[in-house]
Structure 1
Amino acid sequence: MGFRLEGIFPAALLPLLLTMILFLGPLMQLSMDCPCDLADGIKVVLAPRSWARCLTDMRWLRNQVIAPLTEELVFRACMLPMLAPCTGLGPAVFTCPLFFGVAHFHHIFEQLRFRQSSVGSIFLSAGES
Structure 2
Amino acid sequence: MTAAFRDITPDILNNVDNMRIRKCLEYNGWKESLLSLPKKWLSGTPLVHSNLKSDSDTNVVLPKLPVPQLEQTLMKYEKTMRPLLDETGRERLKNIIEKFGRPDGIGPRLQLYLLDRQQKLDNWVSSSFC
TM above 0.5, one fold? no
The normalised TM-score by structure 1 is 0.25
The normalised TM-score by structure 2 is 0.25
The structure whose residues are more often helix, as a share, is 1
Larger radius of gyration: 2
